[in-house]
Amino acid sequence: MSTINQTRSITTVKSIIYSQHGDPKDVIKIHTYTLNEPKNDEIILKTLAFPINPSDINQLEGVYPSKPEKTLKYGTNEPSAIAGNEGVFEIYQIGPNVSKNFKIGDRVIPLGANFGTWTSHNIALEKDLIKLPSDLSIVKSATISVNPITAYQLVNNYGLIKGDWLIQNAGTSAVSQLVSQIANVKGINVISVIRDRDNFDEIAQKLIDQGAKKVISETENSNRDISKEISSLTNGKLKLALNSVGGKSSSNISRKLVENSTIITYGGMSKQPVTLPTSLFIFKNLKSIGYWVTEITKKDPSSKIHAIKELIKLYQNNQLKELEVVENIWKFDEFNDEEIKKLVEIALDNVSKGKQLIKIV
Amino acid sequence: MSTINQTRSITTVKSIIYSQHGDPKDVIKIHTYTLNEPKNDEIILKTLAFPINPSDINQLEGVYPSKPEKTLKYGTNEPSAIAGNEGVFEIYQIGPNVSKNFKIGDRVIPLGANFGTWTSHNIALEKDLIKLPSDLSIVKSATISVNPITAYQLVNNYGLIKGDWLIQNAGTSAVSQLVSQIANVKGINVISVIRDRDNFDEIAQKLIDQGAKKVISETENSNRDISKEISSLTNGKLKLALNSVGGKSSSNISRKLVENSTIITYGGMSKQPVTLPTSLFIFKNLKSIGYWVTEITKKDPSSKIHAIKELIKLYQNNQLKELEVVENIWKFDEFNDEEIKKLVEIALDNVSKGKQLIKIV
């Protein structure tokens, strides 16, 4: 490769990076640098869209156990990392040794965590990428790796079969809504517990339309009468509880399980610890475990590839709805650093209002 | 068998029975009846001693999930059951078809739960009994089935090997003291957490003399500094927590475990639920399960026979101390019903002061 060639295909990149941990808005910086033409089996990716996930924020805060290595390779003064773990890219340039499986224009997502997705471009090797069909929407593609894989594996990896029941709290969360849809396809019945609210009936109906068999409020969840009703409805087949809340909500869903059941914790929205009655462990042989998609993928990357394939089918069959996101548009050719930072700050401010997606156009 | 023969060997039995559930002192009655000479493979047993266990009390209260069938076979007006689950017997009379393995004078304990041990005599078949060596003390024999088997299985059934560590709360309980001794023999290191108390150093020394490697108070258990000290002491090998307390104590012992560890709950002295940090489940792959000797024995009776054999060896090698008990003497030929009831009532009143044993002489 001649110097002239390299110069011709230099890519200007803008990345949202951090070198310290703290409040995300305080620690992120916009950093501009260039990437040379890809060598050997390198692939340069152009980012189409990335979501802001709670785990991305926890990572910036320094309270998330999985974190990228900070490096000087972006030309910063301090070792830095690119924020973000999920997103969809288009192949932009390929090195001379890249196989025919990857062509310019192909849509890809990163296989591993800590890829650095809050950026206009990134560089990767074939083995770091999973190809997606180009007719899968940008939103579906950008958000397929975290919530849908979590939901897919929660429904499929714990021995439930057609006719079984599961109960989950935080029934309106993105993962819970995906769980209901995926379970429904498999013939697994779902009870979703949601917070008490004024428009309970309306939300409950929406969740039932999506595939949940029953929706109860947290007040009902704590009521012994409903336990009898659920016991008769589920007829000895309520074998799994999915907990992303903790505290009393975790107690109350676990009480409804039959003997030899499992409760899986994958979140803790209430900030209360997982709280489970002693008697369930001793006399009902309850097992309480955790689920973390990052660790499962690290141990067995093929599990992610498998789940992605199955999720693509579900999307293609219209058995899974696109996640609801709030789109924030980053106009790459127009926005200066200040405007990009402002865009991310607004998205960070709005995470409690819905999943924020940043789309680069 | 002639009527005359049967009459000659009739046994007068006094049993502590109940037909209703409630406060043990309110529901127990002394019932006198007779047993005919044993037929076929029946064995009549004379009780030597029985303890009063917390589970016996819970059973009388009606809050224990394992319970004997109530029957009219003792000649009561209401269906009744004999109280008690643990105790040691001497073979008193044997039916004509009993094998040579069981002789008059042999010491035996029941294999299953709900045997009815609070009685002067009982009747059984060979298959319901485990023989003990006659040189094992009455106290050791009467108390071998519940606490020592629990401790033996907690140490041996969860994959710990020589050099591993376990942490347990309620470090002064009978089970915990047995755990320390049994673990010590296996080269498994024990950290015992005990309640704060004035004579902490004295009690801690006693537990260390018994085999615990380190003893800390519940205040220390909640302190982050000691976590560092324990982490360095246990060097990545603290893999099991034994919880019989619940609440914050269960949180604090679980926090000290390495990744992929297990916490086993077998009691809940604090009456607080098992409370475990969400992050341990998600990021450290903690598994929380329960242990109940009754259910394990029901599923696999040979596991009890195996544990008893091993425990006898430990007792014979002086590697296990006799449980500390408070002896209450029931003089069978002298006590009337009122005196027997009084004796049991005193023992029930004193359960918080130490394990009560009733010895029949």
Both tokens of residue B313? 């060896």
With helix as H, strand as E and coil as C, how does A291-325 read? CCHHHHHHHCHHHHHHHHHHHHHHHHCCCCCCCCE
Closest in B268, B278, B295 to A274, CB measured: B278
A269 touches chain B (CB under 8 A): no
Which residues in chain B are closer than 8 Å to A153, comparing Cβ atoms? none
Instruction: State the count of interchain CB pairs (< 8 A) between A and B.
Output: 90
* pLDDT per position as a tens digit, A22-63: 999 999 999 999 999 999 999 999 999 999 999 999 999 999
**What is the overall mean pLDDT for chain A?**
96
CB under 8 Å to B65, separation ≥6 — which residues? Answer: A283
State the residue for tokens 């009084």: B342
CB contact under 8 A, A290 and B268: no
d(CA B286, CA B240): 10
Which residues in chain A are closer than 8 Å to B146, comparing Cβ atoms? none
pLDDT of residue B3: 40
B329 touches chain A (CB under 8 A): no
Q: Which residues of A are catalytic?
A: 64
* pLDDT per position as a tens digit, B115-166: 999 999 999 999 999 999 999 999 999 999 999 999 999 999 999 999 999 9
Helix, strand or coil, per DSSP, at residue B272:
coil
Task: Report the relative pairing of strands B189-194 and B214-217 from DSSP bridges.
Answer: parallel
Counting residues of chain A whose pLDDT is more than 90, the rounded percentage is 97
Buried b (16+ CB within 10 A) or exposed e, A49-62: bbbbbebbbbbbee
Rounded to 5, what percent of chain B is helix, strand, coil? 35, 25, 40
Please give the model's pTM, rounded to 2 decimal places: 0.94
d(CA A178, CA B9): 73
Mean pLDDT of B177-193: 98
pLDDT of residue B9: 82
pLDDT of residue A69: 97
Spans of chain A below 50 pLDDT: 1-7
pLDDT of residue A9: 81
Domains of chain B are: 10-143+323-360 (3.90.180.10), 147-295 (3.40.50.720)
d(CA A324, CA A172): 11
